[in-house]
Structure 1
Amino acid sequence: MRHRAATALAVAGALALAGCGGSGSGEDAPDLSVGSAYMPQPVSDLAAGFLTITNEGGAADRLTSVSSDIADRVTVHETVDGSMREVDGLDIPARGSLVLESGGNHLMFEQLKRRPREGQKVSVELRFDRSDPVTVEVPVEAATYTPKTGRTTGQGTGHETGHETGHETGH
């Protein structure tokens, strides 16, 4: 009788553990949201774009490309030691954020087809390695605009400037 009780307890324990965070639980997928997006009003045929991609999910993802109807080309730039260079993507850590900000990593809108003005919005499509594409309506701010809270950190909520631009899950 003792052996049966021990076996039943072991089976019950194994079943309880199996229900905690297996691959079917959604914990192993990115869960992305985008916030703090803005574009300073361009003064030439180039423009910069800034935003924060927050990943609440248990798996990392990667921003792989960006497009917009206002530019012939949108590129992703990494800034290291004050020097910027085009890259083929940027990582978004699990339960972390990718911050694109002035003076740091950012988007470059090249060969603008039109120059958006302050108060308008620019539609931008973000594409990822694992998640579905996300379309964001990016507000155009004054060329001298600075987010109210100053420089954001890589572990923020993505909502520091109050420019909530949408939410998209990676499912």
Structure 2
Amino acid sequence: MNAFRRSALIGAGLAAALTAGVFVVGCGSDGATDTKASELSISGSYIPLPATPGGMGAGYLTVTNNGGGDDQLVKVSSPAAKSVTMHRSTGSTMEQADSLPVPAHGALKLERGGNHLMIMGWSKDPAVGDRLELDLTFAKGATITVQVPVQPLTYRPGS
């Protein structure tokens, strides 16, 4: 396949992914023949509207890895917030995490009561319907940018 055709196919696939809100990125040393590569996609992202203007917000999403290699979410940032940190919740405690695992043929779920993102220092107060750009960086080198919708505070996916 020539380079122009490959670029056109990649561009068409990217346009479809942006429209669908699902992003897939393969990471590894040798693409098709590397059984240890990660193949990441992001789905189900949302941010409940913070309870107070300018307050901290939480972010939730699922990172699915259909590849044969483990990966790790190592950094999250946003051009519209001063700080986005990863947190781990267990029982009655919450602690900041330096990284979160994304297992091969598995998923990392960021959800209420579990692993999640904390968003602080918004550049402007969010409103329901806004979208916040998040840049998710993984240990194997991929950075995936997602536009995460702000939902009502009481929003629960699937309900």
Do the two structures share a fold, i.e. TM-score over 0.5? yes
Residue matched to 2:40:
32
Unaligned runs of 5+ in 1: 1-21, 150-171
Change (3 A) 1:26 1:84: same
In the TM superposition, residue 120 of structure 1 has moved relative to its aligned partner by 1.4
Instruction: Output the CA distance in 2 between the equivalents of 1:34 and 1:64.
Output: 15
Which protein has the larger Cα radius of gyration, Structure 1 or Structure 2?
A: 1
Instruction: Output the CA distance in 2 between the equivalents of 1:115 and 1:77.
Output: 22
> What is the DSSP-based 3-state SS (H/G/I as helix, E as strand, rest coil) of the residue aligned with 1:31?
strand
Instruction: State which of 97, 100, 113 in structure 2 corresponds to 1:90.
Output: 100
| Residue identity in the other structure for 1:77 | H
Unaligned runs of 5+ in 2: 1-29
Number of equivalences? 128
When the two structures are superposed, what TM-score results if normalisation uses the length of structure 2? 0.76
Instruction: Output the CA distance in 1 between the equivalents of 2:110 and 2:92.
Output: 14
Greater length-normalized contact order (CA 8 Å, ≥ 6 residues apart)? 1
Residues 160-171 of structure 1 mapped to structure 2, 5 A cutoff: none
Quick one: percent identity of the two aligned structures? Answer: 39
Q: Does 1:118 align with 2:128?
A: yes
Could you tell me whether the CA contact under 8 Å between 2:65 and 2:102 is conserved in 1? yes
Could you tell me whether the CA contact under 8 Å between 2:86 and 2:116 is conserved in 1? yes
Larger fraction in strand = 2
- After superposing on structure 2, the runs of 4+ consecutive aligned residues of structure 1 that deviate more than 2 Å are none
In the TM superposition, residue 55 of structure 1 has moved relative to its aligned partner by 0.1
| Residue identity in the other structure for 2:105 | R
In the TM superposition, residue 24 of structure 1 has moved relative to its aligned partner by 6.1
When the two structures are superposed, what TM-score results if normalisation uses the length of structure 1? 0.71
Q: Does 1:52 align with 2:62?
A: yes
